[in-house]
Amino acid sequence: MKKIYTPLFLIIVCFAPLFSTFAQSGRIPVSSEKGIVTSSHKLASQAGAQILSDGGNAVDASIATAFALAVTLPSAGNIGGGGFLVYRGEDGTETTFNFREKAPLAATETMYLGEDGKVKDNSNHDGLLAVGVPGTVAGLYKAHQKFGKLDWKDLLKPALKLAKKGYPVSEDMQWFFKWVKEHKDDYASTAEIFLKEDGSLYKNGEILVQKDLYKTLKRIQKHGPDGFYKGKTAELLADFMAKNGGIITEEDLARYEAEEMKPIKGTYRGYDIIGM
């Protein structure tokens, strides 16, 4: 039977509410005998590749890449969303991790519906009611505890550096900045971060620094999931929800758990398939 996976194969698919993503594209082939990291931003891929060079494995590299994307791909790279991770090790170990978002305890079957029984104001897609309890941090940590090789704190270093010192804005980010400006009245806190003080757009090559995100990532680096689902970050998130019509609470965050699951397996035209 043919195999579709390399000796160490890993997929992470992350989701974030509100925004879609336009991935960077290219046509230059890259070859490697020891491993390849690919993502939707060059700097995030470089972060993962550096972790491999430092002796980390594919899980370590994926975690570093994912956290770096939280900085460099604000439209979709996330710690406020969720995703899946599919793993096959060199020894044949196959497993998956499910860390998709979960409904808050206060969620109801009718919370998106108006009196006419129809979805009100696209509330199932727009606004704080559409946001699920985030799973990314818990999922990445769970995968690291089982398969990670390097220290957790080291995997956060590339993302922390990008958030604190900033990185050059690219052409691919312009659509996102324009979207933020067009919706700044609805998403004031987002506009405060991704627009300049005078409300203008960042130009290509200008440096974007994210001080608040740095503080959040620093807490995750120091305390693991507890640095996100408990303490200061949880308080800030729950407080913002309460003040702006959301329903996620500190209890929702504290109760979140990622899940390791047996993969679904099958074959297609002589190839083994493993997936969620």
SS3 category, 2: strand
Distance CA 53, CA 57 (A): 9
Q: What angle do CA 260, 264, 268 make, to 5 degrees?
A: 150
pTM (2 d.p.):
0.88
Alpha-helical (H) ranges within the chain are: 42-53, 58-72, 136-147, 152-165, 174-182, 188-194, 211-223, 226-229, 231-244, 250-255
Give the pairing type, strands 94-99 and 167-168: unpaired
Element holding 168 (H helix, E strand): strand 167-168
Average per-residue pLDDT for the chain: 91
What would the mean pLDDT of 159-176 be, rounded to a whole number? 95
Neighbours of 170 (CB within 10 A): 15
pLDDT at 1 exceeding the cut of 60: no
pLDDT digit string (tens) for 246-274? 999 999 999 999 999 999 999 999 999 99
CB within 8 A of 244, min separation 6: which ones? Answer: 128
The widest CA-to-CA distance across the chain, in whole angstroms, is 61
